[in-house]
Structure 1
Amino acid sequence: MPASSPGRRRYAVVGTGARAEMFVRALVVDHADRAELVAFADVNQARMDAHNRWLTDLGRPAVPTYRAADFAAMLDKERVDTVLVTTVDRTHDEYIVAAVRAGRDVVTEKPMTVDVPRCRRILDAVAETGAQVSVAFNYRYNPLHEAVRATLAAGEIGEIGSVHFEWLLDVRHGADYFRRWHRDRANSGGLLVHKAGHHFDLVNWWLDSVPERVYAEGRLFFYGPAGQRHGYARDYDRVHGSPAAQDDPFALRLAEHPRLRELYLEAEGEDGYHRDQNVFAPGVTIEDDMAVLVRYASGATMSYHLTAYAPWEGYRVMFNGSRGRLELEVAESTHVSPAAAGALKGAALHGAEAAAEEGSATLTLRPYWAPPRQIPVAGRTRSGHGGADARMARVLFGGEADPHGRTATARDGALALLTGLAANQSMATGEAVRVADLLTVA
């Protein structure tokens, strides 16, 4: 690693679960000429120690570690310029607000937070301090999504009247939200906040508009105790050490994944957190099947559906305009094999069998009075959310210019969050919700 110099920004990471790994690697490997990782903070020392072991494996020095209670002291002692927040969603606001009030900038994982009071705290702190808060909406950096924005902005389909957006999580990826802390709405806000916040942000960005009115329906259909009526329920609480989980395709076996074993199984003694809960056990307070209708300030409407128990993974987005239609279809996996059902996507697989066949993507423009045509998209890869993670890191940490306006601010984070929060309230009350009744975002 290059020696520390005034030209390199000093970063601290708070929250050292698996979500931190992409950011850590970007700092110490890809952008070490401009960025310096100087500290970790967490409630769990074992997880920080695991990250430091990975740093030494990469040939980088270990960094000081701090208990989360010592976060404020860390900022001064380590002369931190920017804080990376990758903690459990419900605690994001604690670290964001403390950092900006101490004069630091922040990059936070999505969602920015999980409810209206926490969101208001963040926006007030940003307004009062002038600090920069960036939300890591990496989906904006996917070349496919950039091509959608460019096509719409160029007026290829004219004024946009409506959007239909369907997102499918397969029984490998979708199940993972129901075995970890996300299964509790208090931690994650539910999938319409934690997961769909990505999608709501994309639509805000694509339409260059803001949500005004939201109606939603949803339920827990597949996971949790509902699994009993579908024939999937097994009598165990967590996988490790449970004979009943032996042949369960939904079981995540932490001991078989070296990094997950270090981060979670070997860290349980400190905080009692079980990363491998039974997805059909009681205690799930979020939905797995959700339908949302949104009206935007531009006049456009969106129908959105999220399914977390599909046999394949991907999404479809269709825009209807005054001059035609734009269609994006992405198949990220075509099916899940039994051997892969309990495995995780990406690097955490560590040799486990993935879906037998990977899918593809098409972006189709269908103008009036002319044949449809495919829009070619360059730069998309199979790794890191279609190459988006690396592209985002180049802007956030590498100093790359952002002429496409992909960097998301605290305002953007709030607007994406408010669509999900309004949808949650609508599901609870059965009524449509005016976004401005929750929070006004300037």
Structure 2
Amino acid sequence: MKKKYVLIGTGGRAEFYYGAIVSDFQETCELVAFSDINQIRLDYANKLLQDKYGVAAINTYTADRFDEMIETEKPDIVIVTSVDRTHHRYIIRAMELGCDVITEKPMTIDAEKTQAIIDAIERTGQSVRVTFNYRYAPHNTKIRELIRDGVIGQVNSVHFEWALDTQHGGADYFRRWHRDKRNSGGLLVHKSTHHFDLVNFWLDTEPDVVYATGGLRFYGRENAEERGGVTDFYERAYGSDYAKEDPFAIDLEANDHLKSLYLDAEKEDGYHRDQSVFSDGISIEDTLGVNVTYKNKAILTYSLNAYLPWEGFQIAFNGTKGRIEVQVREQSYINSGGEKSDEGKLDEKTIRVLPMFGEPYEVEVEAKEGGHGGGDPDLLNDLFGVPAEDEFKRAASHIDGAVSILTGIAGNKSLATGQAVKVDELVDLKRK
């Protein structure tokens, strides 16, 4: 029997899910309704269904009619892709109304909201899945396999450097709603949840103590004069002559999808997708360092910088029998609907094993079609199709979702207090 789905939050990330349901998983799934705070965006999502996917429009409900949507459409599962600070609201209410939930990462943004979700799961008996597509990327699965199989023995320390560039993950977070920490929890929660989840997944452990440092060092009005070439201040790119000379600006009119999704819809909710990365109102950090001690005694040194020439990560695992070195450089694109560009493309993935006694060698990873190195199709099949047996157990539960964000939440608390934070003191996960 087909499962019925509704989706709340039809912004840039939503099409990843609803597009898959109506194209590749019609035999197992039925998409029955959209919800959003913005009716123009709802109408555009329906237009994409019709024009791009060739399927009929579905019912739409403004977000204040969420309960009505559930009661009318009677879905089995609610997909939550709204602004991060609202995830908990829809996750909890969906479960209270008898639905299971699939939520975009991060599950939520702070300890209080995490606890509320955990309590609701306990109270309702419903389930929550968190979509960690990085787990499914073939090179990340291969790292898990190498560590699981003891290729470098017991891993005692990890050095993990994540680079965000000035086009996609870096500058774009500072143009969008993510720039306000009240919306996103900052990059330690919104972005780094991927990375902290990977470490938990790779090492098969959980964080114990977290210490973080960092700040806003590149973006923001206070840093604009130091950047060079940005001498004139503007709030947003649309309608600004100054923005035409700013390499950090995004032109919404130049991309039909972004124009329809955001520029045409802003008259309804006032959201500006193209804010200047050097304007006021940025409360998230762009330069971060984190130290984590794990329950298996391994340690992590982690850094994230959001203004670098390339995007991806470098990581080293140091074990009792050797070392694994990984470099992944990803192709850049404008998030939430932009087109990928071949200009300056850096798309390389290398895994190198250095045995303590033996010759170093590179590990081959099978290339696959699809986003995130071929991981996205596997994730989508796990969510909407008939899941295959998975020896690596990549499907992420609410516990995985909570543990990943708790590293970032602890990091935010450490940034605020200057003290190390014990993760178990933040939330009661109510493990059975």
Per the TM superposition, whether the score is higher than 0.5 is yes
Question: In the alignment, is the contact (CA less than 8 A) between 1:107 and 1:135 conserved in 2?
Answer: yes
Q: Which runs of 4+ in 1 moved over 6 A?
A: none
Cα RMSD (Å): 1.4
Partner of 1:331: 329
Partner of 1:355: 343
Deviation at 1:367, TM superposition (A): 1.2
Partner of 2:427: 439
Deviation at 1:399, TM superposition (A): 1.6
Deviation at 1:402, TM superposition (A): 4.3
The equivalences for 1:78-157 within 5 A come to 78-157=73-152
Out of 178, 202, 209, the position equivalent to 1:182 is 178
Structure 2 unmatched ranges of 5 or more: none
Deviation at 1:247, TM superposition (A): 1.7
SS in 2 for 1:408: coil
Question: In the alignment, is the contact (CA less than 8 A) between 2:12 and 2:336 conserved in 1?
Answer: no
Structure 1 stretch 222-231 or stretch 208-217: which is displaced more?
Answer: 222-231
CA distance in structure 1 between the partners assigned to 2:400 and 2:158 by the alignment: 19
Structure 1 unmatched ranges of 5 or more: 1-6, 337-342
User: Aligned AA for 1:388?
Assistant: G
Deviation at 1:346, TM superposition (A): 8.2
User: Aligned AA for 1:138?
Assistant: N
Change (3 A) 1:385 1:233: farther
CA distance in structure 2 between the partners assigned to 1:271 and 1:124 by the alignment: 32
CA distance in structure 1 between the partners assigned to 2:224 and 2:149 by the alignment: 47
CA distance in structure 2 between the partners assigned to 1:39 and 1:213 by the alignment: 42
Deviation at 1:72, TM superposition (A): 1.2
The equivalences for 1:377-388 within 5 A come to 377-381=365-369, 383-388=370-375
Listed one character per residue, the Cα deviations across residues 162-190 of structure 1 (whole Å, up to 9, x for unaligned) are 01100001110110000000000000000
Change (3 A) 1:131 1:233: farther
SS in 2 for 1:251: coil
Partner of 2:268: 270
Out of 114, 131, 156, the position equivalent to 1:161 is 156
Deviation at 1:248, TM superposition (A): 1.1
Mapped pair 1:66 → 2:61: yes
Mapped pair 1:41 → 2:35: yes
Mapped pair 1:229 → 2:226: yes
CA distance in structure 1 between the partners assigned to 2:104 and 2:121 by the alignment: 17
Question: In the alignment, is the contact (CA less than 8 A) between 1:220 and 1:287 conserved in 2?
Answer: yes
Partner of 1:395: 382
CA distance in structure 2 between the partners assigned to 1:345 and 1:181 by the alignment: 13
Question: In the alignment, is the contact (CA less than 8 A) between 1:395 and 1:402 conserved in 2?
Answer: no
Deviation at 1:380, TM superposition (A): 3.6
SS in 2 for 1:22: helix
Change (3 A) 1:120 1:233: farther
TM-score (norm 1): 0.94
Deviation at 1:345, TM superposition (A): 5.1
Listed one character per residue, the Cα deviations across residues 130-157 of structure 1 (whole Å, up to 9, x for unaligned) are 2110001110110111101111111111
Deviation at 1:234, TM superposition (A): 3.2
User: Aligned AA for 2:343?
Assistant: A
Partner of 2:12: 18
Change (3 A) 1:233 1:206: farther
Deviation at 1:349, TM superposition (A): 2.1
Deviation at 1:38, TM superposition (A): 0.3
User: Aligned AA for 2:316?
Assistant: M
CA distance in structure 1 between the partners assigned to 2:55 and 2:386 by the alignment: 22
**% identical equivalent positions:** 47
Listed one character per residue, the Cα deviations across residues 321-376 of structure 1 (whole Å, up to 9, x for unaligned) are 1111111111114xx8xxxxxx61585127xx553233311111111111011111
Mapped pair 1:199 → 2:215: no
The equivalences for 1:242-253 within 5 A come to 242-253=240-251
CA distance in structure 2 between the partners assigned to 1:49 and 1:362 by the alignment: 43
Question: In the alignment, is the contact (CA less than 8 A) between 2:209 and 2:420 conserved in 1?
Answer: yes
Listed one character per residue, the Cα deviations across residues 226-273 of structure 1 (whole Å, up to 9, x for unaligned) are 122222353110111111111211111101111111110000111000
Deviation at 1:24, TM superposition (A): 1.1
Change (3 A) 1:233 1:155: farther
Partner of 2:46: 52
User: Aligned AA for 1:186?
Assistant: R
CA distance in structure 1 between the partners assigned to 2:172 and 2:335 by the alignment: 10
Deviation at 1:61, TM superposition (A): 0.4
CA distance in structure 2 between the partners assigned to 1:141 and 1:34 by the alignment: 21
CA distance in structure 1 between the partners assigned to 2:231 and 2:23 by the alignment: 43
Question: In the alignment, is the contact (CA less than 8 A) between 1:144 and 1:380 conserved in 2?
Answer: no
TM-score (norm 2): 0.96
Listed one character per residue, the Cα deviations across residues 93-146 of structure 1 (whole Å, up to 9, x for unaligned) are 000000111111100000000111100010011112221100011101101111
The equivalences for 1:254-293 within 5 A come to 254-293=252-291
Partner of 2:236: 238
Partner of 2:362: 374
User: Aligned AA for 1:236?
Assistant: Y
Listed one character per residue, the Cα deviations across residues 361-415 of structure 1 (whole Å, up to 9, x for unaligned) are 111111111101111111444x411122221001110122242211111111110
CA distance in structure 2 between the partners assigned to 1:280 and 1:160 by the alignment: 41
Listed one character per residue, the Cα deviations across residues 17-73 of structure 1 (whole Å, up to 9, x for unaligned) are 011011011100011111111000000000010010011112100000001111111
Question: In the alignment, is the contact (CA less than 8 A) between 1:331 and 1:358 conserved in 2?
Answer: yes
Deviation at 1:439, TM superposition (A): 1.7
Question: In the alignment, is the contact (CA less than 8 A) between 2:85 and 2:109 conserved in 1?
Answer: yes
Change (3 A) 1:67 1:169: same
Question: In the alignment, is the contact (CA less than 8 A) between 1:9 and 1:35 conserved in 2?
Answer: yes
Question: In the alignment, is the contact (CA less than 8 A) between 1:234 and 1:280 conserved in 2?
Answer: no
